[in-house]
């Protein structure tokens, strides 16, 4: 048995029963990182000594009969765009290579409090601005399960690490699919919590602008539904540094799911349609009612999300892109600006006004249909770096990703579940729910998410 290939749930049971020490679990993971990470480049900042010291502390607590937390001794990774004391919050940028954090961000602090052992920090594209993962500082991350395909982005390093067994739970962030798409592309599972569920604050950057406040969240990626639940529970603990944190409600719900194969006219690959239909049948066999009601707007929410997100680049972001000089980021920023020109004060205010209307429509929908099943993307995962191959390719990628871009505009949680694969591509679905209803999505994962073995590329 290689402890590095076990789920977090299995590891905590063994460590608590003292059948495996936290040190042994971490040593096995570090050895696997030594073997596999050079070819993957998923982890770009290592902390072997700190990880082993933390594991020894966990073992000492257990020896004293103390409870080290729900993730006792589990090796995890965190993304390089959140603060971890003593490490650079690079966000994939050369201009931030010396931006050393002096305190842990809330997600890092919560993982530590839960007893997790951080073994490395994972790669992201420059500015976390793509569904592909490459930057001029850390280089490119490769997909361990499906060579030649993107590992996704912006949490591509996180997904690749979890898929390859470099820690069973990976922290990621998501403003437009950056947890959901990498999980899909690497053939694992990922949960984007809703607005306010996981506290956030980077002291190195200060308070986020309105787009980040309303739409950017942290969440877990993992190879099992049980590990998603563990990771979410750990990450979502309160932290006073985030004024918008909200507690879970765990409200009862009806087992009723809407099925949308082609929301707002999305061109959906036949294999994805079949995968969604099969997932709906599985739910139906487990007592769920499945329907195909009309949906509130997706496309309008996507367009307004891009407007709100890109408006932040008018406050120094464009200058930072120019200073960084990353070819991918420069191309992506240029193409995004074509889709969402710099807003005026009026268009910015109208976007926020429309957000209230769209959220009202969608929350009314979720009151009748607690879950919506949609494609993660209209197309199977793309060849690596396809988006920067031409403006036409970039436009095709944006169109396909509409189901990921729209929901964060209203602050909704989303789940990606991998249900199977072809010889060349993973197959999976996205499930969406109302704010505060992550528990519904996690219950859904229990029914739909198979346990994915760690891959050795």
Per residue in 253-269, pLDDT tens? 999 999 999 999 999 99
Give the pLDDT of residue 41. 98
Q: What band does 163 get if pLDDT is binned at 50, 70 and 90?
A: very high
Mean pLDDT of all residues belonging to the chain: 96
Residue 310 has pLDDT above 90, yes or no: no
**What residues are annotated to the active site?**
79, 154, 178
Mean pLDDT value across residues 199-205: 97
Q: What band does 335 get if pLDDT is binned at 50, 70 and 90?
A: very high
Closest Cα partner for 218 from 205, 231, 203?
Answer: 231
Residue 235 has pLDDT above 80, yes or no: yes
Give the pLDDT of residue 311. 76
Look up the CATH number of domain 3-235: 3.90.1300.10
pLDDT digits (tens, 9 = 90+) for 311-333: 777 777 889 999 999 999 999 99
pLDDT digits (tens, 9 = 90+) for 139-154: 999 999 999 999 999 9
Q: What DSSP string runs through 94-130?
A: GGGTT-B-SS--HHHHHHHHTT-EEEEEE---GGG--
Residues 6+ apart with CB under 8 A from 79: 121, 122, 124, 155, 157, 158, 170, 171, 172, 173
Give the pLDDT of residue 203. 98
256-448 CATH fold: Amidase signature (AS) enzymes (3.90.1300)
**pTM for the structure as a whole:** 0.98
Token pair in block for residue 368: 């009748």
Mean pLDDT value across residues 208-234: 96
Q: What band does 308 get if pLDDT is binned at 50, 70 and 90?
A: confident
Q: What band does 424 get if pLDDT is binned at 50, 70 and 90?
A: very high
User: What does the alpha-carbon distance between residue 196 and residue 217 come to, in Å, rounded to a whole number?
Assistant: 8
In three-state secondary structure terms, 407 is helix
Ranges for all domains in the chain classified under CATH 3.90.1300.10: 3-235, 256-448
């Amino acid at each position: 048995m290689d402890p590095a290939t076990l789920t977090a749930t299995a590891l905590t049971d063994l460590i608590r029963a003292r059948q495996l020490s936290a040190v042994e679990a971490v040593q096995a993971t570090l050895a696997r990182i030594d073997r596999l990470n050079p070819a993957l480049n998923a982890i770009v900042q290592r902390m072997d000594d700190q990880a082993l010291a933390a594991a020894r502390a966990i073992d000492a607590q257990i020896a004293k009969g103390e409870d080290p937390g729900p993730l006792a001794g589990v090796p995890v990774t965190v993304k390089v765009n959140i603060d971890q004391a003593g490490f650079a919050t690079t966000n994939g940028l050369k201009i931030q290579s010396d931006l050393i954090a002096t305190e842990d961000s809330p997600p890092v602090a919560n993982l530590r409090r839960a007893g997790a052992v951080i073994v490395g920090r994972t790669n992201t594209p420059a500015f976390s601005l793509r569904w592909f993962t490459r930057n001029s500082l850390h280089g490119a991350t490769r997909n361990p399960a499906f060579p030649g395909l993107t590992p996704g982005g912006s949490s591509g390093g996180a997904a690749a690490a979890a898929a390859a067994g470099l820690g069973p739970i990976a922290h990621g962030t998501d403003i437009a699919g950056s947890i959901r798409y990498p999980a899909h592309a690497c053939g694992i599972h990922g949960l984007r919590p809703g607005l306010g569920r996981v506290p956030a604050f980077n002291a190195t950057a200060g308070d986020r602008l309105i787009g980040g406040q309303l739409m950017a969240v942290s969440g877990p990626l993992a190879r099992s539904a049980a590990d998603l639940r563990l990771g979410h529970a750990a990450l979502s603990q309160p932290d006073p540094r985030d004024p918008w944190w909200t507690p879970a409600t765990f409200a009862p719900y009806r087992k009723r799911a809407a099925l949308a194969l082609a929301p707002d006219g999305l061109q959906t690959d036949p294999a994805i349609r079949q995968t969604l239909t099969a997932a709906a049948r599985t739910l139906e066999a487990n007592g769920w009612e499945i329907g195909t009601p009309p949906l509130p707007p997706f496309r309008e929410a996507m367009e307004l999300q891009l407007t709100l997100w890109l408006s932040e680049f008018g406050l120094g972001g464009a200058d930072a892109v120019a200073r960084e000089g990353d070819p991918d980021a420069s191309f992506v920023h240029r193409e995004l600006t074509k889709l969402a020109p710099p807003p005026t004060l009026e268009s910015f205010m109208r976007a926020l006004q429309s957000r209230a209307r769209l959220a009202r429509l969608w929350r009314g929908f979720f009151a009748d249909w607690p879950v919506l099943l949609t494609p993660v993307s209209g197309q199977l995962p793309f060849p690596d770096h396809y988006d920067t191959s031409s403006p036409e390719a970039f436009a095709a990628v944006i169109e396909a990703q509409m189901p990921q871009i729209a929901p964060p505009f209203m602050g909704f949680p989303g789940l990606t579940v991998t249900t199977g694969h072809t010889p060349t591509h993973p197959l999976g679905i996205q499930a969406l729910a109302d704010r505060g209803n992550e528990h519904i999505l996690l219950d859904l994962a229990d029914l739909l998410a198979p346990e994915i073995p760690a891959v050795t590329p």
